[in-house]
Amino acid sequence: MAQNTKYIALIVLVIVVVAAAAFMFFQKPGAGKEEAPEKLTVKIGVLTDETGPTSDVGISYAKGVLAALKYFNEKGITTKDGVKVELSWVKRDYAYNPTKAEEFYKEFRDKYGVIAVLGWGTADTEKLSDTIINDKIVYISASYSAKLTAKPYNFFVPPDYSTQACIAISWIASVKPGAKIALLYDHKVAYSRSPIDAIKAAAQQLGLEVVADVDLPLKATEADAERAVLQIVDKNPDYVWCGNTITSCSLAAKAMAKQGLNAIMISNVWGFDERSKDMIGPEGYGKAMGVSPFIYPAIARQQNIPGINLVLEAARAAGYSDTDVNLRFLQGFLSAWLLVQAIERVDSQALMDKGGEALKEVLEASCQGQAFDFQGLVAPARFCPGRHIASEQAYLVLLNENGEFELKGPQSAPEGIDCAQITIQAGG
Amino acid sequence: MPAGVFKETYGEEIAIFRYPIHYAGAALGLLFALMLPILVGPYYMLLAVSFLIFLVGTVGLNITVGLAGLISLAHAALMGMGAYVTAFLAEKGVNILVAIPVAGLSAAALAFILALPSFRLKGYYLAMASLAAQFIIEYIFALIDPDQYVPIPDEAKYLGGIYLGRGLPLYYTTLAITIVSILTAVNLGRSILGRAMKAVRDNDVAAEVVGINVYYVKAIAFTIGGFYAGLAGGLYALYSSGIGWEGFTLEGSIEYLGMVLIGGPGRIVWGSFLGVLLVRTGWTLLESTLADLIVSYVAAALKYLILGGMIAGFIIFEPEGLIAVLRRFKEYLRLWPYSY
């Protein structure tokens, strides 16, 4: 009995110690906003992919987001009524795993009390799009999926993927009527699949023919790319749409050159950037293009686009060189800048009382009011309730035969074809 | 008056609660579990829910691997089966509390099919067969779920007007299902079937010689393990806003195996408990700290280095897992301050 008493005493002691330690260690989350009216703290969650299959574009994007947050924080942010706002952020790398993204989102919400998230991929953003409505958390993503445009708390700076793709299709129809198009994208990835229904519908309406629809893994190897290209060679397409990220699309462009396929590859916004020149190589010069709603930073500097100076200043302040400021960095910067502009338009009392809901309201107020302006780096953005399509313009960037980037546009979305709506209706 | 606790019947000897300390421990543990939401904030409560879900899954794998000695690298796929079945039924308007047991049964049926190679294979070859099964099932998930996301309708998560998908109802629902699952698993270990599994694990030829139907035992071990995995998948569907195939990949299966091997193979409850606590929950807490301290790709790489190192370390130095270390510590305390 004495031994049992000793055990019981020991267990009770352990339980008490564990309970006390748990009580001290696990703190209840702080509120998303502070009460002091002279200064507010806005808590933000930042979801990145720096180690997963889209890290080839995700690392620079994350740098851009963080550089912007740091820069605007130091420069000073004030609400519409002059109350100073300090941004406080938590960053998590979810490695492009939507399951992991949801776990981190719950950490943002329940542990840190964020009112806004700067997110990343399509599958995870779509997955969380209904949850954030209940939580009233504004979500500005790097995914430009058309399905998100109908969600009340999802926002992004450029036009959606489907509208961007239709801009490319419309351009093809204008330069080569009746052209044949082959599609290369990862059939198992929501991001890659996102604009496909819209592309097919727009191509049909504009008199183009989709001759192949081939699976190319997002994390492709050279062999994957060659296998995919082999499947389209005998279809003899004039244009090839690549819906993956830069590594995969560059490998496909190389494989096209190797197989002697005389077609032009057009990649979506994440499949083509400044690195494409080196990644594709001279054999692909004149045969590769990308859709981009954003002006490439190097071109923006050449053309003295005002906004680029701000981005460069922020990059330098964060310890980056001017060469670190690439398209991805710019995209990340602009997402954070949109959030900052929304905070600057909100009333401090509304921000305190309603948090993310107040930010959503000012973002949607741009529908009839002043657009969000990015000083020429991307088209001004307006968000209408139920239709968060920021704009309907994008450039086409050609890697010309001299290995230089040539800007075509800005091009507009084809009239009479609502590509975002096609995607939403198709559920893709 | 007897000096100590003496067992006078076989029933007393194999009872779940054999000593007063077991009653005290269970009561205090239950009290702690019930009071946890008061002690911690909502985030840590969600972490506890995640812990319970993976505890159910790990208990299942511990039955297959620890109790019956059959290596399975397809446990995450079985969990995925449960999650997808739950999602499908919820979409059809079936209440999630009905869908969860069905999910368990579906995963059990799939596990039974996966058990067939175990009739002819063992050791590394069985591991390879289960690895192949993991890849095949994963591929099928990717085909049926190309959007990487199947939503779980909120309407399916109500019971009598109470929403079970969040907060206290989520925690207590998961806790209740976990407790029932664990009690069942504990009883399995003490049953004829449980002892037959141990016999097959220790020497399948000898087990057959003494009259155990080895094929039957292996099939049942896989099937029960699959049922628990499916149950965990169903609970995951309750916890999550939607499911995607990335949540049920080989990485998940290896993590499950790591939890069993590190916690204590064969020690169904405590071994699984310690394994999940260390590998799953411990890592989640560590990950957040690391993400704030060092660059994320180093933190991500560290997970694999640490998990791999721990699995290798435990296999080499302590094959009975963390539970054996704690048992030795308990013995030390029992005799302290004397070593005899």
Residues in chain A: 428
Determine the Cα–Cα distance for residues B335 and B286; give it in Å rounded to an integer.
34
Determine the Cα–Cα distance for residues A185 and A245; give it in Å rounded to an integer.
9
Q: How far is A143 from chain B (nearest CA, A)?
A: 13
- Dihedral over Cα of A360, A410, A312, A332: its sign: positive
Judged against a pLDDT cut of 50, whether residue A374 lies above it is answered with yes
Average pLDDT, chain A: 87
Determine the Cα–Cα distance for residues A397 and A272; give it in Å rounded to an integer.
9
Query: Are A73 and A152 within one domain?
Result: yes
Query: Are A194 and A317 within one domain?
Result: no
Query: Which two three-digit tokens encode residue A343?
Result: 């905070």
Judged against a pLDDT cut of 60, whether residue A21 lies above it is answered with no
Most A CBs within 10 A among B288, B296, B302, B330, hence the mutation to make, goes to B296
Residue A30 domain flag:
no
Residue A334 domain flag:
yes
Question: Mean pLDDT lowest for which of A14-28, A277-291, A307-321, A322-336?
Answer: A14-28
Judged against a pLDDT cut of 80, whether residue A10 lies above it is answered with no
Interface of A with B in 160-199 (CB under 8 A): 187-190, 193
pLDDT, residue B294, reads 65
Pairing of strands A405-412, A393-399: antiparallel
Is the Cβ of A92 closer than 8 Å to some Cβ of chain B?
A: yes
Sequence-distant (6+) residues with CB within 8 A of A61 are A48, A120, A142, A328, A329, A331, A332
Burial class (CB in 10 A: 0-12, 13-18, 19+), A4: middle
pLDDT, residue B228, reads 96
Band (pLDDT 50/70/90 cuts) for residue A54 is confident
Q: How far, in whole angstroms, is CA B321 from its chain's centroid?
A: 15
Which range of residues forms the domain containing residue A51? 39-159+304-391
The CATH 1.10.3470 portion of chain B extends over 40-335
Q: Averaged over A154-163, what is the pLDDT?
A: 94
Band (pLDDT 50/70/90 cuts) for residue A29 is very low
Residue A198 domain flag:
yes
Provide the strand spans (E) within A23-171: 39-48, 77-78, 84-93, 116-118, 138-140, 154-155
Determine the Cα–Cα distance for residues A400 and B315; give it in Å rounded to an integer.
58
Determine the Cα–Cα distance for residues A50 and B104; give it in Å rounded to an integer.
36
pLDDT, residue A34, reads 46
Query: Which two three-digit tokens encode residue A265?
Result: 């590859």
Per-residue pLDDT of chain B (340 residues; tens, 9 = 90+): 667 777 788 888 878 888 788 888 889 999 999 999 988 888 999 999 999 999 999 999 999 999 999 888 999 999 999 999 999 999 999 999 999 999 999 999 999 998 887 777 777 788 888 899 999 999 999 888 877 788 899 899 999 889 998 889 999 999 999 999 999 999 988 889 999 999 999 998 999 899 999 989 999 999 999 999 999 999 999 999 889 888 899 989 999 999 999 998 988 999 999 999 988 888 888 877 777 776 666 777 777 788 888 888 888 888 888 888 888 888 888 777 776 6
Q: Averaged over A187-211, what is the pLDDT?
A: 90
Please state the domain count of chain A: 2
pLDDT, residue B114, reads 87
Query: Are A173 and A285 within one domain?
Result: yes
CATH number at residue A265: 3.40.50.2300
Query: Are A128 and A264 within one domain?
Result: no
Q: Averaged over A394-398, what is the pLDDT?
A: 91
pLDDT, residue A67, reads 95
Query: Are A88 and A168 within one domain?
Result: no
pLDDT, residue A27, reads 45
Determine the Cα–Cα distance for residues B23 and A177; give it in Å rounded to an integer.
81
Is the Cβ of A238 closer than 8 Å to some Cβ of chain B?
A: no
Query: Are A337 and A410 within one domain?
Result: no
Residue A229 domain flag:
yes
pLDDT, residue B235, reads 96
Residue A181 domain flag:
yes
pLDDT, residue B296, reads 65
Query: Are A285 and A398 within one domain?
Result: yes
Query: Are A196 and A241 within one domain?
Result: yes
Query: Are A310 and A385 within one domain?
Result: yes
Is the Cβ of A131 closer than 8 Å to some Cβ of chain B?
A: yes
Query: Are A83 and A138 within one domain?
Result: yes
pLDDT, residue B17, reads 81
Query: Are A270 and A340 within one domain?
Result: no
State chain B's maximal CA–CA distance in angstroms: 70
Band (pLDDT 50/70/90 cuts) for residue A290 is very high
User: Is there a contact between A93 and B299 if contact means CB atoms under 8 Å apart?
Assistant: yes
Query: What class is the B40-335 domain?
Result: mainly alpha
Query: Are A231 and A266 within one domain?
Result: yes
Residue A18 domain flag:
no
Is the Cβ of A11 closer than 8 Å to some Cβ of chain B?
A: yes
For the stretch A95-132, what's the b/e string if a residue is b when 16 or more beta carbons lie within 10 angstroms of its beta carbon? bbbbbbbbbbbbbbbbbbbbbbbbbbbbbbbbbbbbbb
